[in-house]
Every structure is written in C-alpha cells, then in structure tokens.
Structure 1
Amino acid sequence: MNNEWKLEIAEYGTLRVCQTLLDSLSTFCQLLPSQPESGGVLVGKHLNSGGAMLIDDFTPPQASDRQGRCSYYRSEAHNNKVLDKWKESNGHSTFVGLWHTHPEAKPDFSTLDRKDWINALKNSRYEGTRLFFIIVGQTHIRCWVGNQTKTTSKIELLGEYKIGSK
C-alpha cells in the first residue's frame, strides 16, 4: 500500500494508517455550524512485518451516540461493532484506539478528551500497552499515541495529516 500515512514511534515501530480510512474520516469534518461532532472507535491490526500497527477500519457514529456542536458521547454500540469486526477477521482486526472530530482547523485535545483517553488506556481491553487517538479537524487530522504502564499514562502527539493530500 503506497497511499498510507506513516508515523514512526520510538521503541515501537511504524504506525500505518490507510488512505481509505483517512478519506472516510474526512467526510465527518465539521465545516458548517450545523455539523455536530462525530466519533467512534479505531480498528486495526498488529503486524509482524511492514510496520508495528495498521489502522484500516473504524466505527462510524451510531444512532445511540449523543452529538453536539462541541461535544460527543460514544455509546456502547461501538463495542458490539468492534466485536463483530474481530469475529469476521478471525481475531486479526481489533480495538486500537478512538477517533472524533473538532470544529477547528488543526485540532487539539480538550481536558475532557484527555480524561476519556486516559480512561480508555486504564480500563479498556486491548492488546499491548498503546492506544491511538485521532481527532479530525477542518483542515488537518492529528494523531496521538497513549502508552499505559503500571504507574503512568503518557499521551504524545505523533503527527498531523493535511486533509486532501495523498
């Protein structure tokens, strides 16, 4: 796959994000005041070669989510969608993080976002010690990595992708 966003993570390897996923997430950009925040779960695969992680799927907003202009509540319905994707892939596709939108050009996480991410790192069931967090802005998509150890939760920005670049 040539059309990917590749991010290098020290002591981990390459995170690959599929172009089709970036294009799909971009359709949720909040360009108009009437467009609410959207979000869901990132689905990916742990790789043995060609990178450490491939994020190639997601759950779109569900009917049971709560969406406002500057707020988003992700419902439990996403868990069932991820479980279905896991079963369909014979255990290869799994929960690897969270995504949502912001009505700003280059998005940054809020205090509430950080609390949600730390909660996911501490309380969610996932492979490894890392989760990825994507926020889709109006002109850029930004990605953070969260790392959970026994004593701390660390979140750092990995990079940003300009929407429309290939």
Structure 2
Amino acid sequence: MQLMSSWAADDKRTLLNFSKSTLETFCQHVQASDFDCEAGGLLLGSVHGTHMLIEQATVPTAWDKRFRYLFERMPFGHETIALSRWMASQGAVRYLGEWHTHPEDYPHPSGLDRSEWNRLSAKRRDKRSMLAVIVGRKALYVELVPSSGRGLVLTPVE
C-alpha cells in the first residue's frame, strides 16, 4: 500500500503532513487478512496555523479492545505517551486526533465512528477540530471533525 504523506482540504488552506513513522504505523496495522482485528491509537503532532504535522501515531496497547469490526481505545498507555510528548516538547507536540483501521479497501466512517468523533471533538480544551483517520487496506480516510456535524474531508496531494 502506497500512502501519501501530504493531504489538503479542497481550498488548499488546510494542509496536513504525516511523518514517515506515522505512515509506517498505519501500514503495520492494515487488516490484510480475514482474521485481523481493528487497531488504533492517538495522533500526536504540532500545529502551524491551519497546518498540522502528525509526528506520531500511538499503537494499540494490551488494554485496548480489538475485534474484527470494532476497536475501543482504553486511556491507559496512550494518554501517558501523549502527556510525556507534550511535556518534553513544552507543549509543541500535542493530541491532534485519533486513528483506527477498517477491514475495507477504501474506508468510510460508520455511524459509531461519527458519534465518537463528535464526542471527542467536543471534549477538546483548545476547541480545535479533531483529526480522524481511518486506515483501509488500500487508502486512508482523513477528516477534521468539529464538535458538531460533519467536518472537512482531506485528500492526498501529489
């Protein structure tokens, strides 16, 4: 699977860049076989105006609930990593959103995904939209989700 590192909104005013290690984490968790369970984690990075650099994707922990068609992230592990990265960077590297896999080639969010994203976005202290990524077998789905309603879908940039 060839994943693009640069993504943008249609108006090109919102740009997003995934680090090489983030894309490698996505690739390592693709649900390639019929038995692979969903995986997921947090997206950590830095904000530069309307642009974002995603520096790290946390990986599933032993506490997370992983099934074929469901991933439930537990706070343990993920939040410890996020807090330590935030403190070490003096607040520059922070929580930007969440990622998880779907066992489909070109993933689309489910109703459960949407309600969870809206809930997580509403909890953000900085009131920014939450970055939501679904890793499919052949492509990514990338959206900036506000606290209510649908967000801004981003597409790969060559």
Asked if these proteins are the same fold (TM beyond 0.5), I'd say yes
| Equivalent residue number for residue 98 of structure 1 | 98
For 1:101, give the aligned amino acid: T
1:123 lines up with 2:123 in the alignment:
yes
Alpha-carbon distance between aligned partners in 2 of 1:143 and 1:67, rounded to the nearest angstrom: 21
| Equivalent residue number for residue 76 of structure 1 | 75
1:143 lines up with 2:142 in the alignment:
yes
Alpha-carbon distance between aligned partners in 1 of 2:156 and 2:99, rounded to the nearest angstrom: 14
TM-score (norm 2): 0.87
For 2:154, give the aligned amino acid: L
For 2:15, give the aligned amino acid: T
Q: Deviations over 1:40-90 (max 9, x none)?
A: 110010125xx6211111111011100000011100112222111111222
* Structure 2 unaligned spans of 5+: none
Shift of 1:11: 8.6
Counterparts of 1:59-74 in structure 2, within 5 Å, are 59-74=58-73
Conserved 8 A contact 2:6-2:156: no
Secondary structure of 1:97 counterpart: strand
For 2:155, give the aligned amino acid: G
Shift of 1:154: 3.2
RMSD between superposed Cα atoms in Å: 2.2
Aligned residues: percent identity? 26
Shift of 1:10: 4.3
For 2:55, give the aligned amino acid: D
1:29 lines up with 2:30 in the alignment:
yes
Structure richer in strand, relative to its length: 1
| Equivalent residue number for residue 155 of structure 2 | 159
Shift of 1:108: 0.5
Shift of 1:128: 4.5
For 1:109, give the aligned amino acid: P
1:38 lines up with 2:36 in the alignment:
no
For 1:82, give the aligned amino acid: A
Secondary structure of 2:119 counterpart: helix
Higher RCO (CA 8 Å, separation ≥ 6 residues): 2
TM-score (norm 1): 0.83
